[in-house]
Amino acid sequence: MAYLALSEAIRLARETGQILTAATGVVGLCWLLLRQDRFDESEKLAALTADEIEPRMSEASPARLAVWGELWLRVAAASVRNNRPDLAQEARRMAATAASALSTEDSTFPNHWGGFGPVTAEVKAVEDLSVLGDARGVLRRADDGLLGAKAVRNFGKPTAPNWGRHRLDVARAHLTLGSHQDAMDELLQLRRTSGAWITHQPMARYVMGDLLKTRKRTLTQDMRSMAAYLGVTG
């Protein structure tokens, strides 16, 4: 049903000349294909659409730059999961180019599917490291540069789901390196800020489940509470 709804929305937007709205729909459709592990289709559709709406950097509106950047984020996400690191790297470079032309994060739907800006582009680049299993790389970049407190304050935070997924990557990296309390601190912060959202995240349950399996010391009250909250048993 989601596929049909998105396809129809894209068709109607194209017919009425709303090109950026149609492209935003494609961003959503590529996300759906990505969730279904249809990496080739997601990558090709995003790249084709990005080529069609490629802006002139000197005169493009922020909205056009953002949608174009979001499409390259989809290309990168699909290709890194499809074992095509060279294409993923090039797609991240294109997304960074779009992001560098923006002075702030923008998450105004329907102009953007999931928000875009300098911080979002960096968050997604760090996500690649998580996908590749580079836990130290994730932690090295997680709170530095564009993800440092000053940059996030200046540019603005990404959308709550994008930021939340990033912090789950950070939690997973801490867990991989044996820092159980640091992983718990990330989960606890997400519970405080995005309590309903985190209960629907498989990554949160994975982190909590793995922590229960690998922790040798007695569980803290916070750990027992979080496990119950996420519905995870040892």
Q: Supply the mean pLDDT for the chain.
A: 93
pLDDT at site 12: 95
| Rg for the chain, CA atoms, rounded | 19
Same domain, 121 and 223: no
Last residue in a domain, options 158, 188, 223:
158
Q: Residue 118 falls within a domain, yes or no?
A: yes
More confident site: 56 or 198: 198
Same domain, 152 and 44: yes
Q: Residue 125 falls within a domain, yes or no?
A: yes
Q: Residues 95, 76: contact at Cβ < 8 Å?
A: yes
- Element (DSSP H or E) covering residue 41: helix 39-52
Looking at residue 85, which CATH number applies to its domain? 1.25.40.10
Same domain, 153 and 185: no
Last residue in a domain, options 94, 125, 158:
158
Same domain, 215 and 115: no
Q: Residues 189, 164: contact at Cβ < 8 Å?
A: no
Q: Is the pLDDT of residue 57 over 90?
A: no
Q: Residue 174 falls within a domain, yes or no?
A: no
pTM: 0.91
Same domain, 151 and 202: no
Q: Which whole number is the average pLDDT over 5-26?
A: 93
Last residue in a domain, options 158, 193, 216:
158
More confident site: 110 or 31: 31
* pLDDT tens for each residue of 62-103: 889 999 999 999 999 999 999 999 999 999 999 999 999 998
Range of the domain at 211: 180-234
Same domain, 133 and 74: yes
Percent of the chain with pLDDT strictly greater than 90: 83
pLDDT at site 110: 59
pLDDT at site 109: 60
Q: Residue 167 falls within a domain, yes or no?
A: no
d(CA 133, CA 180): 17
- Total structural domains in the chain? 2
Q: What's the token pair of residue 170?
A: 């950070």
Same domain, 203 and 137: no
Q: Which whole number is the average pLDDT over 144-169?
A: 94
Q: Residue 171 falls within a domain, yes or no?
A: no
Q: Residues 7, 22: contact at Cβ < 8 Å?
A: no
Q: Residue 170 falls within a domain, yes or no?
A: no
